[in-house]
Homo-oligomer: A and B are copies of this chain.
Amino acid sequence: MIDSCISSKKTFFIIIFTSWFIFGNQPETTAQICNEGIPLFGAQVFIEPGQTQEEIDAWFRILRENNMSVCRIRMFESYMKKNDDSWDFTLFDNAFEAADKYGVKVFATIFPYTEKTDIGGFKFPRSEEHLNSISEFIRHLVTHYKQFDSLSGWVLINEPGSGSVSNNQFADKKFKEWLIKNPQKENTDKGYPVLMDLTNQRFLMDFNTWYLYWLANEIRKYDQVNHLHVNTHAIFDLVAEYDFPSWRKFLNSLGGSAHPSWHYGYFDRSQYALAMAANSEIIRSGAGNIPWMMTEIQGGNNTYSGMLPFCPTSEEITQWLWTTIGSESKGNIFWSLNPRASGIEAGEWALLTFQDKPSDRLIAVKDVANTIHKNEELFRKAKVVDSGINLLYIHESMWAENLMATPSKQNYEGREKGAVMKSVLGYFEALSEMGINCNIKEFNEFDFDKENYSGQVIILANQLSVPTYYLSELEGFVNRGGKLIVEGMTAFFDENLHNTMQTGFPFQKLFGGNISEFKLVENISYFSLNSQKIPAHLWRGLVENKTGKVISGQDNEIFAIRNTIGEGEVIWMPSLLGLGSRIEKDYNALSLWLSEEILRVIKSPFQFESPVPGTFMKTMHSGENYITIIINKSGIEKPVSVIAEDKSLKADLIFSNYRNQIPDSSRFLLKNDETLVIKWN
């Protein structure tokens, strides 16, 4: 049974691109992956020369047999364009014909010619000639494949983002053009010299956006109907290269690659499900009003490719799927159904065995897909419950860290690349163990234009660089009832890598004071807040209090204050508590403090009675119903007590990988690696 969004007739319409981009209108879309759709399942069918038509046919049949209604195909220019410049589409036509035959929808990835050892594809054109060649490829490709019913959409590029702009004439030219509109500052407004700046990284983000838009435009020249999509990757490293709000203007959905072996280096294996949850939240926020899906999920064993060799268990597959679904993903596509046969990825990543039999992982996918299809209406409308808690990260903070971070012998994480994002993750992990949802948003993705922020919390965890022009948004948020929690080295730099704490701190009125000094204490010391002793990492900021109420301190030193402004308040605790808890792998004290501090502000229809280490819960609502997804990664059997705000709700088991029913109560004993999905009526 196919989602009606997918099977809807394609309507033909024309977009005037220039005005579209300028006015930022969201194009009407045929939306195969759509906001009101049910979550779809699928896999990459890896098509390469040597495969027979029978083999290809079989893979699409297998998808069909396993409730997988979408797939992705990498459209290699290398395998279409012949040496005499003619085009031979036979190989990929075979795949599309099989997709047509079995009713599988295809997301086709634009993959222009690149070196045969380049497993990910290039990220930017190298020259005008190169750009023209890509344009020609798109023309041939799109005009040929838009005829297929199975075509659902185009993936503009595989995994944009690379860490840096490569040195070539094209990039230089684009940079010079860009500089005219975005001149480098020689001095701050007060006349201080700007010694290091974020220009290169800002350009990298804009250049990336430019190229994606250019690709979208090229496709739209020939196909105004099908879906446009792109998959982010290495999100915790590269997200500061992604300008999601701008992308929404030309994408129909947003996506991501989420492979622990490549992308989850900040996590150990027991944390991969939580990593998937954080990854999902970042993409969900990036997507905004357009739907999102997880475009690539690791399907099988990797040996020589990837940063870390690894084979997911069926339990992990189950956890990852329910985690993304719990974050409103409308599609889940594995990489890959069948393995590549040659080169660095040969025989790796697949859901199928070498004999095209389903692995235990594929069976796990099928089981989840079955559950979704049995509860179609429930999941079609299911939305993440917004607890009101927002972890904001800031592009400039990640850029600043990229410039500043240097490893030291002591491996102080706070001084190394990753400290900004890991601090955010520390709070995400603490809140997840409390069973509470929270958003992870780039600063610009948060809606600062509301009239009332009561019940809303923003946490700025170790956001190293906060542009001064963000002050008014933050002030507005607090004045209109919001609660702002600021920790770590947040605002140590402004957008010019200038330390304003000594030259007129713009956040003094909002935060209730200034910093006297930041001092290195120890890798881990303990920070007293209420009755909790929270692990704190490396640096401690001493507060020069002006208008706040001291909530932590010792002798004459002030460690944290509470400042009331308008209808809201700010808690400023300039120590690295999120990172400290994360390093200690102990969120208990942080969770308990957050409980005390936040729970009286926000509303969460469900939460754990007390934090459950190694276990987390995602909560959705769907019409009158709620769905809670609980995953136990603690390594042991865990009792979990769920508190529902509405005591009249009753729990129905939708899914478990280990049981058929649940007790008639809100206390569950979860086996290790169990995923429990409950519908509350």
Contacts and interface: CB of A to CB of B under 8 A. Distances in A.
Interface of A: 48-51, 78-79, 116-117, 187-188, 190-196, 265, 300-301, 303-304, 307-311, 338-339, 341-344, 346-347, 353-355, 357, 359, 404-406, 408-410, 412, 415, 489, 492-493, 496-503, 505, 514-520, 538-539, 542, 544
13 contacts: A78-B193, A196-B344, A303-B489, A309-B520, A339-B499, A341-B498, A341-B499, A341-B502, A342-B498, A343-B497, A354-B517, A354-B544, A355-B544
B538 A309 contact: yes
A48 B517 contact: no
A138 to B, nearest CB: 22
Nearest to A191: B50
B354 A514 contact: yes
A307 B300 CA distance: 39
Contacts of A117: 195-196
Contacts of A405: 304
A505 B79 CA distance: 24
Contacts of A355: 502, 514, 516, 544
Contact of A354 (B187, B493, B515): B515
What is the interface of chain A mostly: helix, strand, loop, or mixed? loop
B343 A516 contact: no
A502 B347 contact: yes
Sort A-B residue pairs by CB-CB distance and give the 9 closest, nearest first: A195-B343, A50-B192, A347-B499, A346-B499, A50-B191, A354-B502, A311-B519, A304-B404, A353-B516
A404 B344 contact: yes
Given A194-B342, A354-B544, A359-B517, 12 more contacts: A51-B192, A117-B195, A193-B342, A196-B343, A265-B409, A309-B412, A311-B519, A341-B498, A342-B498, A353-B516, A353-B542, A355-B516
Given A117-B196, A193-B50, A196-B343, A357 B308 contact: no
Contact of A301 (B196, B499, B514, B519): B519
A397 B350 CA distance: 23
Given A347-B492, A544-B355, A342 B520 contact: no
Given A50-B187, A415-B303, A496-B342, A116 B517 contact: no
Contacts of A357: 516
Given A346-B498, A520-B311, A503 B190 contact: no
A539 B500 CA distance: 54
Contacts of A338: 502
B193 A346 contact: no
Contact of A501 (B347, B412, B518): B347
A496 B339 CA distance: 16
Contacts of A304: 404-406, 415
A76 to B, nearest CB: 9
A519 B117 CA distance: 24
Contact of A517 (B301, B409, B412, B496): B301
Contacts of A354: 499, 501-502, 505, 514-517, 544
B499 A342 contact: yes
Contact of A342 (B195, B344, B406, B410): B195
Given A308-B410, A409-B308, A49 B191 contact: yes
A357 to B, nearest CB: 7
Contacts of A190: 50
Contacts of A514: 354-355
Contacts of A489: 303
A3 to B, nearest CB: 31
A191 to B, nearest CB: 4
A413 to B, nearest CB: 12
Contacts of A308: 408-410
A415 B353 contact: no
A672 to B, nearest CB: 16
Nearest to A498: B342
Of A339, A341, A344, the most chain B CB neighbours within 10 A belong to A341
Contacts of A415: 303-304, 309
Contacts of A518: 301, 303, 347
A408 B542 CA distance: 40
Of A192, A357, A497, the most chain B CB neighbours within 10 A belong to A192
Given A308-B409, A347-B501, A301 B520 contact: yes
B412 A196 contact: no
Given A353-B544, A539-B303, A192 B502 contact: no
A111 to B, nearest CB: 14
A481 B279 CA distance: 57
